[in-house]
Amino acid sequence: MITLHHLNNSRSQRIIWLLEELGVDYDIVQHQRDPKTQLAPPSLRAIHPLGKSPVIVDESNQMVMAESGAIIEYLIQVYGDSQWQRHRDQAEYWDYVFWLHYSEGSVMPPLVMRLVMAGVSKAPMPFFAKPIARSICSKVLAQFVQPNISRNLAFIESHLHQRQWFNDERISGADVQMSFALEAGVASGLIDERFPAIRAFVERCHQRPAYQRALKRGGEYAYA
């Protein structure tokens, strides 16, 4: 039996989706963000030292694992069938590895920084500090964050233009991994009508029966 430690409105929703796709028996332990800080609660640190979600506990293999990409690889290799597995002797394997790592390595950092900069510019502070803070945030966004986001979205849009899924014509763990950043971007309005291929990809994910079942199991999720 697998136990997933799940945080509301987080990357762990995509792990529920994958578990549903694979037909694996699992339980969910719900953790809720602090309503003021939006940070994960201390209860997650009792499961894994990083105190983040997702974390899975696989009792059958005495495995405790964090990090979405590692969890996706583990679940597919241990519980996936030929539909989901990619092997090193297949032509698409290294492309699969690229997209699996690209999500957290390149796409998420500027998106997170964008949120952080927005939070800093709106945070309570002495009146004389506000113009300075807002100026710094504005320059970081304009010179670093937004150009990186735009470059990544253009790259993804081009890749998906004539494809249904990231790796090949079969859905893979790479699609599960890429889904969170892109659906959050669509929900926030960042990914608008300029990116029809990305929006179509997100809609394909949302229409899958396993995704719909995952929404019912996971609870509150703002990006679907």
CB 178 within 8 A of CB 151: no
Nearest-10 Cα torsion for 65, 57, 69, 153: -120
CA-CA distance, 18 to 176, in Å (whole number)? 7
CA-CA distance, 99 to 69, in Å (whole number)? 10
Q: Hey, which bits of the chain come out as E strands? A: 2-7, 26-31, 55-58, 63-66
41: DSSP letter? P
pTM (predicted TM-score): 0.91
- Would you state the pLDDT for residue 127? 65
- Would you state the pLDDT for residue 187? 95
Residuewise pLDDT in 10s, the chain (224 residues): 999 999 999 999 999 999 999 999 999 999 988 888 788 999 999 999 999 999 999 999 999 999 999 999 999 999 999 889 998 998 889 999 999 999 999 999 999 988 877 766 666 667 666 676 677 778 878 888 999 999 999 999 999 998 999 998 899 999 999 999 999 999 999 999 999 999 999 999 999 999 999 999 998 899 98
Question: How many Cβ atoms sit within 10 Å of the Cβ of residue 163?
Answer: 12
Nearest to 221 by CA among 8, 37, 6: 8
Domains and CATH numbers, the chain: 2-85 (3.40.30.10), 93-209 (1.20.1050.10)
CA-CA distance, 181 to 155, in Å (whole number)? 14
92: DSSP letter? T
- Would you state the pLDDT for residue 121? 64
Residue 216 parent element (H or E): helix 209-218
